[in-house]
Amino acid sequence: MFKERHARPVHRCAKTLHRRYPLSRKPSNDSGGIFDIDDKDRQIAELQARMTDGNFWQNPSSANQIVRDLKALKNISESWHRHDHRAAEIAELFHLSENEGEEFLAHLDADIHALKDELARLEFLTLFSGEFDRNNAIVSINAGAGGTESCDWVSMLLRMYTRWADGHGFKVTVTDILPGEEAGTKNVTMIVHGDYAYGYLRAEVGVHRLVRISPFDANKRRHTSFASVDVIPELEEDIEVEIKPEELRIDVYRAGGKGGQHVNTTDSAVRITHLPTGIVAQCQNERSQHQNKQVALAILKSRLHEREAREQEAKMSHQHQEKQKIEWGSQIRSYVLHPYNMVKDHRTDFETGDSGGVLDGKLDGFIEAYLRMVKTIKT
């Protein structure tokens, strides 16, 4: 009785696993072809051969890029080979399971489901194809139309992204923050440290719209607030961006504090303005002026590099045109808390009624929908 009842789900799960992720080394047009392992293995061999050249490290910038590319390719290839080997073991055990008992079949069923989850994760990694997707992310959130309401909305978004980052094991460092005049935050810049942080968070670039009953309105009227989110990759130190000292204006000021023993008594915060472009980067989070200057320079470097990339790539320019005006009609996502609960992304039409969960950091559904849409457009 037991074998009859449990063998069927295992068999059905095994067929589903093979259909979605056919364990073949040859790329194809079906869903199993997304890994394209033969091509990745070929690229790995070529990069490893280049690394054996005696002159490989004479160009550190190029060498480090090759090392990063190799690491990214191996991350998928080695995982696939490991899962391929495990799938072969499970297939063999499945064919030997005819006369086994309940414990064996339950263990086999758990292994199949675990392998499906791992392959799904590996498939998701193929969505990260950008040059800097593996990098840390520099995230800036700015209040738009809506006054105090929008400043409060910036604080809510800061909490949302912080909770999302915590859930992924990422570290968040706030480098600069400007409080609102009455409540909330006018703007904030933070660095999200973690593997593929930029790859994930580039899906969040644009204007975010909030609809709710205002906690600041004594008449409890419904208000609409806007905030813009900008995300750029934090560049590796070996990536060269020309910044001439004479083109920089460096201002120091007293960092904000909440009083008490932590109040700032020295001008340790640093603001750097790149005069030719007007791009500004600032930091007040570190303990010393020197440290703040180094962080601000790193942010400026990333912003200048991103600006150059936007000018060269029409797609990047189009993406950022969508968030030029932080007001009605330009939003990429709406968060409606009244008269109903719904969060909807207007680019992908992905939506959920769990607005509380989204504001608590449950963003993966929106991010995955966006990344899949971008990949579909590119292919």
Encoded amino acid at 305, one letter: H
d(C-alpha 338, C-alpha 210), whole Å: 10
d(C-alpha 170, C-alpha 198), whole Å: 11
d(C-alpha 39, C-alpha 93), whole Å: 30
Q: What integer pLDDT is reported at residue 5 of this predicted model?
A: 36
Q: Which two tokens stand for residue 304?
A: 């200048």
Strand order in the sheet with 171-179: 171-179, 185-193, 137-143, 222-233, 206-213, 331-336, 342-345, 351-352
pTM: 0.75
Q: How many CA atoms lie within 13 A of 173 on its CB side?
A: 16
Q: What integer pLDDT is reported at residue 256 of this predicted model?
A: 66
DSSP alpha helices (H): ranges in the chain? 2-20, 37-51, 60-95, 102-125, 148-167, 197-201, 289-312, 314-321, 355-359, 364-378
Q: What integer pLDDT is reported at residue 151 of this predicted model?
A: 95
In terms of Cα–Cα distance, which of 143, 199, 211, 213 is closest to 170?
A: 199
What stretches in the chain show pLDDT beneath 50? Answer: 1-12, 14-15, 17-32, 258-263, 315-317, 320-324
Q: What integer pLDDT is reported at residue 130 of this predicted model?
A: 83
Q: What integer pLDDT is reported at residue 313 of this predicted model?
A: 65
The dihedral region occupied by 218, where left means phi > 0, alpha psi between -120 and 50, and beta the remainder, is alpha
Segment (H or E) for 280: strand 279-283
Q: What integer pLDDT is reported at residue 347 of this predicted model?
A: 95
Q: What integer pLDDT is reported at residue 258 of this predicted model?
A: 46
Q: What integer pLDDT is reported at residue 329 of this predicted model?
A: 54
